[in-house]
Structure 1
């Protein structure tokens, strides 16, 4: 299959599921809090539902993709994002918002494993790492788009979500036409035991790293925008610009495949871990300074997308016989960590304040540097 025929619709699907349906919540959260009267703790709990539903759907998607092929799960991901965003756009209360969050968060879990499988089926092997990391970078385009939308729409978060709903529907139609309809189940059936991490060499460091990275990034995704808003005198466009910077610099994460090829998986992971930990600490140092805040946003954006690309490649190399499981395991554990981290962040901030909390999460991020792939993996590179 032509590289762009699969990658371009894949980038847009990841953009609407991850960027618009999932991570835009942190940008719109202050207005949602004010409109629905939510506390920081409730905000943290609601945010954790994104990751909780993701945990369920990524398991479901991994299992079904291995037997039925990627097409069904990709389309279901788009449909789930559409329903979630629609519910969030019309929500009258916290309960309907929570239901919309569950559908929106679930869409991301449905989307990731089938694209990994689709790439392994229809893209030449020498271009698969690049295809995976560029589709993964679709998150950045979605985040940048959500930030630009917030600048134009200011605080009308319901209208914002309605526009996202329409865009998601268009992307769903594109993928419906682009993804091959051939049943590929026979080529995606794996030997008994391949859906288990037990006994798989290198799986334990992958699990620990993914889980801890998830914990360390949860506070930034959910509360960074609220943090700078309370710390400084920012205009609405500056607050939205903070989110745009995350997205724009996240596009640089699409080059993680190239850096892995040149410097090795271990080096790429350590570099990403140091950058993402630094972003929280830099923000805590001077949250009221727009330049420092934007530097922090840039660091976080490029390092998060970069690191998820590294985890993606690392997972596929560990679970060499099952590409969808190789994506599913690290992304699942990343989400489990974000469930834990998001709930704790709401409590930490309410108890100790933003500065202390973000420094703590930065330290947790620093710890992940010591959990990366070991040198022997470079042999496979």
Structure 2
């Protein structure tokens, strides 16, 4: 299968599930809270459903993809995103909103593992790194689009989610036409049924690195917008623009596959880890200055998508016979780390303030540099 035939619908699906179904919620939350009369406590509980649904569904998706192949999970991810966004658009109360949030969050967990398997099945080995990292960069396109939607349609969050639901349906139909059925035979084969981590060289390093990187990025994802809003005199469109910058620069993360090919996996991992750590430290220096805050947003967006692409390639190389497991494990541990990191960040910010907390998370990111892939033929 040609590179773009699989990458373009895959990139679109990831943009819809991650960017529109998951990350847009934080931008639209102020208007949703006002409309539905939600308290801070209820908002926090509902927001946590994204992480909970993601962690549950990425495990389910990894298992089913390993046993049956990728098509069913890819289509289920698109259907979950469509239904979740539609429910959120028409929700009459907080309880129905929670159902929509769970479905939207589930779509992200369902989507990630099967695309790794699809690329292993239907693309040549030489193009698999580029294919995986470009599909992964769909997150950044979705984040940029959600930021633009917040600027243009923020007071009308129901209309915004309605539009996103239509886009999710289109992505689902596109993937329905493109993704081959399981019975179709291809030259590239995929070993099904092996879910064991026992004896897998490099698995422990991958798991530890993913968990620590998840912790290190949590403060930025959860509190960076609040940080600059409190620290500076930003207008509403500038706060949304901060999010757009994260998405736009995240597109650069799609080049991680090419950089891995040229300089090696170990170099790319260290570059990404140092960059993600630098973003947290940079924003703590002068968050009231838009040039500094937007520069940190660009650095974080590019580094995050780049680094998730590196983890994706690293995972597939470690679990070379099971691409869905190679994606599922690092992405699951990344999400678990973000749950831990987000919870602790709130405590640290309450005790010390934003700047010291962000510096601490920057140093956690630096610590992750020392747990990366080794320079050897097996992994690099």
TM-score by length of 2: 0.93
Q: Tell me what 1:120 maps to.
A: 120
Higher mean C-alpha displacement, 39-48 vs 311-320? 39-48
Q: Residues 41 and 343 of structure 1 are in contact (CA less than 8 Å); yes or no, is this contact kept in structure 2?
A: no
Q: Tell me what 1:364 maps to.
A: 364
Q: Residues 69 and 184 of structure 1 are in contact (CA less than 8 Å); yes or no, is this contact kept in structure 2?
A: no
Output the CA distance in 1 between the equivalents of 2:69 and 2:7: 17
| 1:112 to 1:244, Cα distance in 2 relative to 1, 3 A | same
**Post-superposition shift, 1:35?**
4.3
Please state whether the residue corresponding to 2:180 is helix, strand or coil.
coil
After superposition, residues 258-273 of structure 1 pair within 5 angstroms as 258-273=258-273
Residue 15 of structure 1 pairs with residue 15 of structure 2: yes
Unaligned runs of 5+ in 2: none
Q: Tell me what 2:321 maps to.
A: 321
Higher mean C-alpha displacement, 98-107 vs 237-246? 98-107
After superposition, residues 274-353 of structure 1 pair within 5 angstroms as 274-353=274-353
Q: Residues 85 and 162 of structure 1 are in contact (CA less than 8 Å); yes or no, is this contact kept in structure 2?
A: yes
Q: Residues 53 and 103 of structure 1 are in contact (CA less than 8 Å); yes or no, is this contact kept in structure 2?
A: yes
| 1:98 to 1:219, Cα distance in 2 relative to 1, 3 A | farther
Output the CA distance in 1 between the equivalents of 2:162 and 2:117: 31
Output the CA distance in 2 between the equivalents of 1:39 and 1:287: 27
Output the CA distance in 2 between the equivalents of 1:356 and 1:32: 31
| 1:38 to 1:290, Cα distance in 2 relative to 1, 3 A | farther
What is the CA deviation profile of residues 266-295 of structure 1, one whole-angstrom value per residue up to 9, with x for unaligned ones?
111111001111111211221111111100
What is the CA deviation profile of residues 187-218 of structure 1, one whole-angstrom value per residue up to 9, with x for unaligned ones?
54436xx3121221100010001011111112
What is the CA deviation profile of residues 70-124 of structure 1, one whole-angstrom value per residue up to 9, with x for unaligned ones?
1110000011111221222233444333322221111111111111111111111
Q: Tell me what 1:255 maps to.
A: 255
Q: Tell me what 1:231 maps to.
A: 231
**Post-superposition shift, 1:236?**
1.9
Q: Residues 253 and 303 of structure 1 are in contact (CA less than 8 Å); yes or no, is this contact kept in structure 2?
A: yes
Unaligned runs of 5+ in 1: none
Output the CA distance in 2 between the equivalents of 1:293 and 1:266: 29
Q: Tell me what 2:240 maps to.
A: 240
Please state whether the residue corresponding to 1:155 is helix, strand or coil.
coil
| 1:95 to 1:222, Cα distance in 2 relative to 1, 3 A | farther
What is the CA deviation profile of residues 11-39 of structure 1, one whole-angstrom value per residue up to 9, with x for unaligned ones?
00000001111122232334344445556
| 1:84 to 1:32, Cα distance in 2 relative to 1, 3 A | same
Please state whether the residue corresponding to 2:23 is helix, strand or coil.
helix
After superposition, residues 207-218 of structure 1 pair within 5 angstroms as 207-218=207-218
Q: Tell me what 2:219 maps to.
A: 219
After superposition, residues 73-222 of structure 1 pair within 5 angstroms as 73-183=73-183, 187-190=189-192, 194-222=194-222
Higher mean C-alpha displacement, 146-155 vs 262-271? 146-155
Q: Residues 68 and 183 of structure 1 are in contact (CA less than 8 Å); yes or no, is this contact kept in structure 2?
A: no
Output the CA distance in 2 between the equivalents of 1:268 and 1:231: 33
Output the CA distance in 1 between the equivalents of 2:214 and 2:98: 21
Q: Tell me what 1:49 maps to.
A: 49
Output the CA distance in 1 between the equivalents of 2:112 and 2:332: 10
| 1:217 to 1:47, Cα distance in 2 relative to 1, 3 A | farther
Please state whether the residue corresponding to 1:31 is helix, strand or coil.
helix
What is the CA deviation profile of residues 211-239 of structure 1, one whole-angstrom value per residue up to 9, with x for unaligned ones?
11111112222222222222211122211
| 1:197 to 1:379, Cα distance in 2 relative to 1, 3 A | closer
What is the CA deviation profile of residues 236-270 of structure 1, one whole-angstrom value per residue up to 9, with x for unaligned ones?
22111111110110000000011111111111111
| 1:353 to 1:44, Cα distance in 2 relative to 1, 3 A | farther
Output the CA distance in 2 between the equivalents of 1:285 and 1:331: 30
**Post-superposition shift, 1:43?**
4.3
Output the CA distance in 1 between the equivalents of 2:119 and 2:142: 21
Output the CA distance in 1 between the equivalents of 2:256 and 2:53: 27
